Amino acid sequence: MSATVRTDLFNGLFAWHPSPDGQARLSRHPDAPRSVPDPDTGRHLQIATVDVGSMAICPECRSQGEGGFVSFEADLRMVYACPQCRRLVWMPGA
């Protein structure tokens, strides 16, 4: 595992911090963008909220960790940023 903070992940929304115990964590990136591209259409979605440090289980890798959640304006989907699999996981909207 890398011993340095990574800011090249999560479309620049979060910084990834390694941990000696293997439980990486995220923090909000200070220069985070205000929008991210939709993975299907490429259209930029305006970010409504960003929450970081919430304990959750990743819907992709099923690991528990302190990840981040992102919601969008005019889009009912949410994104989970997983510190373990280091991915943005898009969840279907209602």
Per-10-residue mean pLDDT for the chain, 94 residues long? 77 92 90 93 95 92 94 93 95 74
Tokens matching residue 35? 């929008």
Residue 2, pLDDT score: 47
- In the chain the first and final C-alpha atoms are separated, in Å, by 37
